[in-house]
Amino acid sequence: MVRCEGIWKIYNEGKPYEVRALSDLCLTISRGSFTIIGGPSGSGKTTLISIMGTIERPSRGGISIDGKNIAGFSDVALSSLRRKRIGFVFQDYNLIPGLCAWENVSVPLVPEGIPIRERKDRATGLLETLGLAERAEHSPEEMSGGERQRVAIARALVNNPDIVILDEPTSSIDKESVSGLLDIMKGLKAQGRTIIVSTHEERLLGNADIVYELIKGRLTGHADNNGMHQ
């Protein structure tokens, strides 16, 4: 379970040009759920999921995972937690141009000291599962947007995380790839993983267990299978 309590994120705090990206957010994401953080561009979606993914820290407030408050964790402790428990798929994928697909997927395994043969086996196995077996030796530059996204998803899964976070995953792919993405997320949820997605894609909204709506950094309501709540 991921819980955010009174989360604020303020950039350039105390300066004339400070920006309040998030204001006093409280929300809970249940283990094994498919949760969407919705809202228009600039509403704070990416900031919020970056905090939940331990990539950014809140300015104020607490965040806990399975009841353990991680707000006071050191950078090293947060990095270790992220490698072991959280898979993050960036909006622009963040693939390394000089590496082929399986090498990109295996990058999170390098700090763990895993031998290269095992890294390659785990990476190519995931790529095969995601329909990219024949692209394992190809570089990101040789792939479509949908293929690059699946490589990024494989990289997020290579350490077998129980929390998978995707930032605006439909922004750079075609409609056919959106359908494939939805199938992947349904499969991950069926495995018991917690899925957190920032998006405004209608076809994804209808398949989530709960949708939180952000407007200008504030939580304005949420909807579950029973309808909308304020």
Looking at the predicted structure, is the pLDDT value of residue 19 above 90?
A: yes
Which residues are paired to 194 by β-bridges? 163
pLDDT, residue 71, reads 84
Of 164, 191, 170, 172, the residue nearest 182 (C-alpha)? 170
pLDDT, residue 198, reads 95
81-124: pLDDT as tens digits: 998 999 999 999 999 999 999 999 999 999 889 999 999 999 99
Residue 81: is it exposed, middle or buried by C-beta count within 10 angstroms (0-12/13-18/19+)? middle
User: What domains can you pick out in the chain, each with its CATH number?
Assistant: 2-229 (3.40.50.300)
